[in-house]
Amino acid sequence: MRYGIYGGAFDPIHFGHLLLAESCFRQADLDRVVFVPTGISPHRAGKGTYHASGEDRFNMIESAILGCEEFLVSRCEIDRSEPSYTIETLQYFKRTFTLVEPEFFLLMGADMFNDLPNWHEVTEICRLAMPLVATRPASPLPYFEALRGFVSQERLEAIRNAAIQMPQIGLSSTHIRNQIAENQSIRFQVPKNVEAYIRSHQLYKINQQQTNDS
């Protein structure tokens, strides 16, 4: 079984996130994509907290992927009471999926990929999971050479060759939160179920900081 692990704030999840997941699912021939909303992230030090709770972000993802059996969502990070490192999340899934001999892939945009050398135990991350990197508008191109010294030349070439091509869609969670705070429409930017959830739970209203993208 080939599992794509897709971590992020998803604050809120939008069609850009879903399109990246779908592009990776199709092009990398994955069996499942597991969305993992972050709990306490070591990468957000000094950037403040999330705008919606872990529970709300989990529920919005669950609403967004309703009816898509190949997409799953995990609570493994939002239920932790301490910072969640990617290496620990991958080790958790390796322990969990013991009956299916899983092969793991780490889904990410180019901006996140370019920061990968700064992550905790990056060599082990790349051993446990193949990074699948896709580019997004207004993001830098993936700089594969940044991993040189952390992985073998063979693994580096495999990561380079696994890069994902996806349709370019200029959405961000920051923009969507700003639209909501200004009472503007977010129609066709998030799934209808997610829009309804945001409205019914009064998420992202005024007096919230609009500084963090996802």
pLDDT tens column, 115-170: 999 999 999 999 999 999 998 766 778 999 999 999 999 999 999 999 999 988 88
Residue 133 lies in a domain: yes
CA 192 to CA 32: how far, in whole Å? 23
pTM, two decimals, is: 0.92
How many angstroms separate the first and last alpha carbons of the chain?
28
Give the chain's domain count.
1
Residue 213 lies in a domain: no
* Count of helices and strands (H, E) across the chain: 8, 5
Residue 211 lies in a domain: no
Packing angle between helix 192-200 and helix 54-64, nearest 10 degrees?
A: 150
Q: Is the pLDDT of residue 210 over 60?
A: no
Q: Is the pLDDT of residue 207 over 80?
A: no
Q: Average of pLDDT values for 109-116?
A: 94
Per-residue model confidence as pLDDT tens digits over 83-101 = 989 999 999 999 998 877 8
Nearest to 64 by CA among 189, 151, 157: 189
Q: Is the pLDDT of residue 214 over 60?
A: no
Residue 138 lies in a domain: yes
CA 9 to CA 21: how far, in whole Å? 14
Residue 95 lies in a domain: yes
Give me the CATH number covering residue 94: 3.40.50.620
Residue 203 lies in a domain: no
Within a 13 Å sphere around the CA of 117, how many CA atoms are in the beta-carbon half? 12
Mean pLDDT check: name the lowest of 14-18, 44-48, 175-179. 44-48
Domain of residue 24 covers 2-169
